Structure 1
């Protein structure tokens, strides 16, 4: 058996998801999974650095620390599978994004989590730094997972939209019989703003099951102000992150509505996620939406999203054979396979790159 490890830590910056997986034709077999949470102090440091509040020394230290944790997560999932390390072809590591600026005269994207440390500590070839080649070719460098969605979730029977509800939400539209290209982009915040506001107001890192938001009410005036942000009307290709949608952004919006209760802001942020997604979905009557990511574990978010979608059916990617928690780490295992096989990992129609590119840098065992 040739196996691969995928490592993913997203914009929520809550920890590392690791999977050990094998691929055969269009089939995926997930063997073991592991989530390694970041210590609270480390998460706070990562959040601070992501807002330009860190020195080069701080970034360097965090690169080493997260690299060691990524290696620990990979080793744990390999150990649990009880297979020899020699059976692991490679590790695909997304790394931890601390800054993503895909626009401007000198676009860049920075992921830390030193892949040399991962390769050294695990003894497994590691593929990382997936975004920069796409950006060098004029792309956004994100989202990259739509290529995986296309490879494994496409259907000739229906149009499908894969909706990732991470810190940032992104969609991949996979037409069925229309012959149109796959498209995808970041729609805006999903959990990032809700988590940031919850931590600031309650000291809790996230709103468990949406209970706190359920105590509040949507304030339409605040919601309208939030939706006026230019990002939501920007045409694709586009990608975003905590550089734009962060706690300071929320507080700037709330300053114009000083009488709101904190729970009303939280409920409005949840509605912002829903409305910004629904407004940017493809205008087609024959589409099912399959959700994945951490937001699928928020019952209030999922129930309100289902209402907002109306006749469009909301499902989760388990219906397509892959648990919503593990879609992204499996995708980076697959991207590592693409890299070592000399195959492109991006979709130019999604990222805006000048063409297909082999992504990532290889760190031999």
Structure 2
């Protein structure tokens, strides 16, 4: 029997809202429609300000409602454009926008905003949201969650296979009976930040600006000394670590090492940030027995990034998930459609081996 779910994802990069409409049967999963909707520019600025500076409870509460309204508007447009009968939609899987992720503090938490009550009130469709906090309550990292879906969707494939998602952050999944997955570190987030500071675009299209520069080996070495990269899994990260302050701090260390007066060109910094993403990923993949690396996420659109990643992993086959029959662009939105399905059916999601939680559990809250 077919069931139909919508998955919504807006990632760390804040560059758009991905929506996936999926048909789920007992032994199959199919993406029927998908679309990307603009992320409100003023809301993006306000979110980044709330993340990087002191804020107020009033601001947090208003961001929660504004995000809910933005998601609901995008969903309504998506349903209308694709002529979907609302009555056929079993639920919406809404990840929400991560403002802060702190699973290792004295009082661990992960905060995703985007009021699901607003979404269900406006659309008239039930919503599953708040996926991460149960896992954290059970001692887990609350991230990454994509590995459970990767394992589900690619279970038909044989061999030593890993799945790499390059979004704002990058996460790696090692498929198999003992599922492993974790954030390798920064994906696009630092490159996007540096590009937006020095160019008039939100991201470096195809990595052209990075390609025009020269990677600085000394700066890369300093960046790779970040303690997160040497931590053992389970581990997860986000903008609370890899942000503008982190970049400026690395440049300050580099300047001090060079006597305080050495200047590095902006395009060379961009080239080095791209290599940081490449090397932090490749270093982890090389620790495994992977013979096929399936790549998805926004980073796959950066042709120079992919070129450099393949060069670093020259003994491993690197393929996009599209080549394996699964959309690379809408992988995460599809994952939250699937997670909504699992919640509606009260299924335990097998993530404890990924996140370090004490046990697998039913994840997400259901808003009727």
TM-score range, shorter chain: over 0.9
Q: CA deviation at 1:315?
A: 0.3
Q: CA deviation at 1:157?
A: 2.1
1:185 aligns with 2:182: yes
In the alignment, the residues of structure 1 paired with residue 306 and residue 208 of structure 2 have an alpha-carbon distance, to the nearest angstrom, of: 13
In the alignment, the residues of structure 1 paired with residue 240 and residue 84 of structure 2 have an alpha-carbon distance, to the nearest angstrom, of: 40
Segments of 4+ moved more than 4 angstroms: none
Give the TM-score normalised by structure 1: 0.96
Deviations 1:288-335 (A, max 9, x none): 001100000001000110101111011011122211000000000000
In the alignment, the residues of structure 1 paired with residue 172 and residue 31 of structure 2 have an alpha-carbon distance, to the nearest angstrom, of: 23
Deviations 1:319-360 (A, max 9, x none): 222110000000000000000101023510000000001011
Partner of 2:259: none
Structure 1, unaligned stretches of length 5 or more?
none
Q: CA deviation at 1:282?
A: 5.5
Q: Which moved more, 1:54-63 or 1:240-249?
A: 54-63
Partner of 2:267: 263
Partner of 1:273: 277
Q: CA deviation at 1:285?
A: 4.5
Partner of 2:205: 208
Question: How many residues were matched structurally?
Answer: 360
Structure 2, unaligned stretches of length 5 or more?
256-261
Q: CA deviation at 1:39?
A: 2.5
Partner of 2:306: 302
| Kept in 1: contact 2:3–2:25 (CA 8 A) | no
Give the TM-score normalised by structure 2: 0.95
Where do residues 34-183 of structure 1 align in structure 2 (5 Å cutoff)? 34-155=35-156, 157-175=158-176, 180-183=177-180
Deviations 1:129-161 (A, max 9, x none): 000000000000000111111111124521111
In the alignment, the residues of structure 2 paired with residue 160 and residue 126 of structure 1 have an alpha-carbon distance, to the nearest angstrom, of: 33
In the alignment, the residues of structure 1 paired with residue 243 and residue 196 of structure 2 have an alpha-carbon distance, to the nearest angstrom, of: 12
Partner of 1:233: 230
In the alignment, the residues of structure 1 paired with residue 77 and residue 159 of structure 2 have an alpha-carbon distance, to the nearest angstrom, of: 38
Q: CA deviation at 1:63?
A: 0.9
User: Superposition RMSD on alpha carbons, in Å?
Assistant: 1.3
| Kept in 2: contact 1:6–1:331 (CA 8 A) | yes
Q: Secondary structure at the match of 1:172?
A: strand
| Kept in 2: contact 1:26–1:151 (CA 8 A) | no
Q: CA deviation at 1:284?
A: 4.2
In the alignment, the residues of structure 1 paired with residue 59 and residue 290 of structure 2 have an alpha-carbon distance, to the nearest angstrom, of: 49
